[in-house]
Amino acid sequence: MVLINAEPRNFLHWLVNVKLSRIVVMVLAILILTPLITHFYLSKVERNVSSITHNAHSHLDLPENVDVKEIDLRVGVEELVRIRGSVLSELRDIEKKRQQFKQELQTYSKNIEELKTELAHHQTNLNRLKISVEQAQVAMHEALEQNTPDLALPKKLTPDSLPHILPPIPRNRSRNCRMFSCFDHSRCSLTSGFPIYLYDPDQHAVMNEGWDVDGFLKTTLKQVLGYNPHLTQNPKEACVFLVLVGEALKDTDDVTENIGNHLNLPPLDSEALKRLPYWGGDGRNHILLNLARRDLSAINGDIFSSVDTGRAILVQSTFYHDYFRPNFDLIVSPVLGPPGGDVWHECSHMVPSRRKYLLTFQGEMKINKAYITKKQLVFVDEELEKENTELNNFILEHLKQLANTHTSDKFLFDFECVPASDDSMNMGPQDWALCGTDSSRMSVLKESTFALIFAPSSIEYVSTTLLQARVYEALRSGAIPVILGGDQVKLAYSEVIQWKRVAIFLPKARVTELHFVLRTIPDEDILLFRRQGRLIWERYLASVQSTLDTIVAVLRDRLNIPPLPADTVAAVSVFNDTFQPILVLATGDVEQEESLGPLEPPYNSPAYRRNYSLGLTQGHEMWNDWGDPFRLYAALPMDPILPSDAKFVGSGRGFRPIGNGQGGAGKEFSDALGGNNPREQFTIILLTYEREQVLIDSIARLRGLPYLHSVVVIWNSPRLPSPELRWPDIGAPVHIIKAARNSLNNRFLPLENLQTEAVLSVDDDAHLRHDEILFGFRVWREHRDRIVGFPGRFHAWDLNTKNSWLYNSNYSCELSMVLTGAAFLHRYYLHLYWKWLPQAIRDKVDEYMNCEDIAMNFLVSHITKKPPVKVTSRWTFRCLGCPQSLSEDDTHFQERHKCINFFSQVFGYTPLLNTQYRADSILFKTRIPHDKQKCFKFI
């Protein structure tokens, strides 16, 4: 960059001004004096000619030499004519020179204006460089004052030996096991990554003769665990060891045949457990998985209750109170879903909030013949059991009366139905059996606002498979579970899941208040319950994959070991390692009339700073709201911010307050980012397909853009760019990434070379001014969890069909979407788009080659429960002369209508929310003094 010295420039201006003044004086003198002299001379000649003519006619007698005088007169007239022609020629020459001087004057004026513009541009660049130097000095000062260096990624520390053999512990001690007393923490360092080892159930069978593990579960679990990133094949480095115990089935097809003959022979062989090669004598760090697909508790009960399991952690659905060890053993949901994949089609729609029935129940009281034999395993208080039985009978009678009450609320209670199978029996003296088929129960639950679920009839149980299965079915159908006897039981993963946001727990003694409690819940809270229930069901219960991942995540969470980093997509360049693209200096209208910020070298956003504290401070939010407990992300849009005074007292590193904390107008505003977050930059993602010159022009317009970290171009075309293509040098790195296939979903690829939290997604034909981009960036920094951008759209209700949505781009005072053709969003949502969003939505995007921006708006609004933020008043961003875009086709809008309605079906509701405001800059319409500058001149 060339900097102009102030003194030579002033001399140049003076010199130009003096020269122009002399030229102007000469031109004026010629233009004024020449006509006067000519007029005087011609007048004199004319008077002489007139005098001679007058004398000739006045006197009759002429002199003798009159002929001579006539000749002289003729000669004089000819001379005058010649002189006149000469004068006219001189006048024409003078006019020509005047026009030349005029053109020169215009040229000099134009040069003066160009010099002034160039001076302003250099002044702007000089200001930017000054700001950049100041920011670099601040960064250097911060680095020098830093007491400790930034933590690098720690080295993975894992054990390198098998568990030592220790003597077994007595059973009375194992029943009091807790993590601090029965778990070997030395094998699970914070940086270990929580490696887990799975015993092959075919090679290490632990079942007694006559029992076997469900073949489906055995095969599926081995397959599903193979996808878990924590699985290791090296037992020496393992933190925990998984043993697949159940679901235990008898070899005979009739699982209820000869029940009594097998009660004395438990399914689990304790000696086989001790023979496991890494049992270590006492089973420490072993996880015994007794997963179930059906309720066989009447046959198996708690299969661990009569077996010495040492220090192993027990994981199952059925537990006695006397044998359950809180925060050591783990209650899980039965494995009722598919192995994996999309499960959205199994869910019902979340609206309307109130359904046909207020409360439903389908079940029949059954006498459990096996209970009399089983009860010897636990201590049973006969008096309490008698009182509990009487209370159950009272509840049954009250519910029958409630169903016959004359009220506008509808109830469906089926207490005398044909049970689905005898497997539905529980272990109490009497309990509720499931009725009908899965499809018939589902149809009733989908019409139920609330689903009544009874706690186990016997008070000896903290959980049963039947209880967990009923909760699973209710959540899958969108019915809110109402657990009668909820103070008696625990639900799956209760140490991390906030079940009070999902289900209603009511003591049995308060059954008479049941109707009143349900009527007090408004529609808003009903939908909150239903939405939260669907989130829990989809994330932790819906499939075998989610169940296994949740079990591993809960155990890891207990030890406060962070999950493994989220996967990224390899950024494969379209150029090979030896090819050097041709770079040319970007030209065109890229300069700005105002200094917008410093020109800095690329600065990566700090990453993975909260690995070991995130689960402590925001653990419940991770499990129950926006978080993902299965993966670790470089940063989250919901990361906490410091209070204002912390930036100046103790925690000021990285912050760039405006005016060093004193504030200020436009000048001070452009010098620093300000805001509530430390300094950062943004990455621009451009998706392109066979529009090379349009792409080149778009990149060229980015030259000199402050806070720009890099530009990532996703090359969606199978035809690679021409080697002769000249790429503009914009002062920031430009990466050309080859997409695996042509898909609009590639716009949101979580590429490995994205090094900033802020991502600006831009169409290759969008034309944004620098000040618009920077204003959008500053607004996004205050709304990091939302989409912040320029083109606003909204979803409108179809008044003709009255049962569907329409996509609308007309002028409106409300909007619900900001298109990602020109919008800022957090890098976190790119991961969610590919890892959390149902595959059916991405398939629909590929089918229509459309709607990826609508899908991202659905996702972000679903996570945040907030609308997007629109900035500035611009309505279109298409460039003139560009090839026709997809949005100009009428079918484009028809497909977007269909997309909104399909996405609503997948989500179970429409998460888009309306907003009625846009963001404009402070001081935009404020009168300010002449010595002050607005934040942005045109925004």
Q: Which residues are catalytic?
A: 853
Helix (H) or strand (E) segment spanning residue 27: helix 6-58
The residue to which tokens 């589902």 are assigned: 442
Query: Which residue type, as a one-letter code, is found at position 43?
Result: S
Provide the b/e sequence for 356-367 (b: ≥16 CB within 10 Å).
Answer: ebbbbbbbbebe
What is the Cα–Cα distance from 474 to 450, expressed in whole angstroms? 8
Cβ atoms 296, 312 nearer than 8 A: no
Other beta carbons within 10 angstroms of residue 691's beta carbon come to 16
Nearest to 608 by CA among 572, 639, 633: 633
Q: Strand 822-826 and strand 788-789: pairing?
A: antiparallel
Provide the b/e sequence for 880-907 (b: ≥16 CB within 10 Å).
Answer: eebeeeeeeeeebeebbbbbbbbbbebb
Cβ atoms 290, 206 nearer than 8 A: no
Backbone angles phi, psi at 335, to 5 degrees: -85, 90
Ranges of H-type helices in 175-310: 179-182, 215-225, 259-262, 270-274
What is the Cα–Cα distance from 879 to 821, expressed in whole angstroms? 13
Other beta carbons within 10 angstroms of residue 625's beta carbon come to 16
Beta bridge partners of 244: 289
Cβ atoms 805, 897 nearer than 8 A: yes
Cβ atoms 286, 241 nearer than 8 A: yes
Alpha-carbon separation of residue 322 from 68, 218, 310 (angstroms): 156, 29, 16
Cβ atoms 429, 385 nearer than 8 A: yes
Cβ atoms 507, 459 nearer than 8 A: no
DSSP string across 788-832? EES-EEEEEE-TTTSSSEEEE-S--S-B-EE-TTEEEEETHHHHH
Other beta carbons within 10 angstroms of residue 42's beta carbon come to 14
Query: Which residue type, as a one-letter code, is found at position 781?
Result: R
Token digits of residue 175? 């029943």
What is the Cα–Cα distance from 632 to 324, expressed in whole angstroms? 31
The three-class DSSP label of residue 507 is: coil
Other beta carbons within 10 angstroms of residue 426's beta carbon come to 27
Nearest to 708 by CA among 791, 780, 765, 774: 774
DSSP string across 823-866? EEEETHHHHHHHHTS-HHHHHHHHHHT--HHHHHHHHHHHHHS-
What is the Cα–Cα distance from 125 to 578, expressed in whole angstroms? 35
Other beta carbons within 10 angstroms of residue 245's beta carbon come to 26
Nearest to 710 by CA among 591, 603, 569: 603
Kindly give, in sequence order, each residue whose CB lies less than 8 Å from that of residue 423, ignoring residues fewer than 6 positions away: 255, 256, 294, 295, 296, 298
Nearest to 772 by CA among 726, 731, 824, 845: 824
